[in-house]
Amino acid sequence: MGSDPGSGSWPPLLELKPGACPESASWYFLAPFGESPSARVGQDALYLPPGPGSQRGKVAIIAGANPDGSFSDSYFLDLASHRWIPTGWDGLLSRYEHATFVSTSRPTSLWVFGGASEKGNRNCLQVLDLATGTWESPAVSGPAPSPRTFHTSTAAIGDRLYVFGGGEKGVDPVQDQQVYVFDSATLTWFQPEVRGQPPSPRHGHVMVAVEHQLFVHGGLAGDTFYDDLFSIDTKEMKWEALSATGSVPGGRAAHAAIAFRGHVYIFGGMDPTGALDTMYKYHVGENRWTKLAFQTPLPAGTSGSRHVCRSMGSASRRWRPGLSRQGGCL
């Protein structure tokens, strides 16, 4: 799972053993057994809740890339046994910097959208049947987003995936400021009418869902790093620029974000000075930021994070933006 967390000049992290309970305000690393994924960036990590008879779920690792090319493989990390499970399943088009989600009505279906391969950006959808290990590329209707990368720019609510922004080529985002919605129940893309002023074009931002609200934070366009925060109420479909109080995080891109118990947490990313190792909590009901303090060392600064790979926050690294290319689904 990457480099030794105790190597170099960084203080060592604590290892979380199988079955152990983490302490509050503490970071840990896992040392899973079994065959691990090869070193890569741009993979997506998605938590899958436990099934019947299991107390802990799994983390699915989907695709990614290294300097030699992009991957089409998938792994599970069993959180009860701390063991890697390579699937050996075929059928996914190789890609990195893509989005994944599981719909509410079909919890055994894992969807993948967009991303890029060494041949160009993608805008296609594929779905994995978690029960059979079968990948399919279903026919969908409606106007799909243009090919794009950096899919921290997506969030799922129920059966629907919401897409805003993303990377086009290098440090340049797509110029499209439209919100796209994919309904996995009807296999349909559509563009809802959204009132209000949207965020400026960007990529490397995060978008997370808290109940029926979407929150968009940060991002990058050229050499500009954004520190702004926006929300959309998906029932009203209206953009709102939020002027939050508290310890407001500075401009950043390629950071991780997760929603938990009515709060939004962000970690890492990069700004003009380099990679960041700070973590913030946004109190949705109070419109307030808090910079979090911990009893343990933090992971080294990360950029391009995508979801949960450590016991708090994310540490999956992403491909350098300069390697994203314009193109279609190849």
Q: What are phi and psi of 174, to 5 degrees?
A: -65, 145
Per the listing, tokens 């790979």 go with 309
Sign of the dihedral through C-alpha 28, 29, 32, 37: positive
Per the listing, tokens 């949207």 go with 198
11 three-class SS: coil
Per-residue tokens: 301: 């600064």
13 three-class SS: coil
38-71: b (≥16 Cβ within 10 Å) or e: eebbbbbbbebeeeeeeeebbbbbbbbbeeeebb
Q: How remote is the C-alpha of 233 from its chain's centroid?
A: 20
Query: What is residue 306's predicted lDDT score, i.e. its pLDDT?
Result: 52
- Cα–Cα distance measured from residue 265 to residue 212, given in angstroms and rounded to the nearest whole number: 17
Q: What percent of the chain has pLDDT over 90?
A: 80
What pTM does this model have? 0.87
113-160 pLDDT, tens digit each: 999 999 999 999 999 999 999 999 999 999 999 999 976 778 999 999
Q: Tell me the mean pLDDT in the region 275-280.
A: 95
Residue 39 has pLDDT above 80, yes or no: yes
62-98 pLDDT, tens digit each: 999 999 999 999 999 999 999 999 999 999 999 999 9
Domains and CATH numbers, the chain: 27-323 (2.120.10.80)
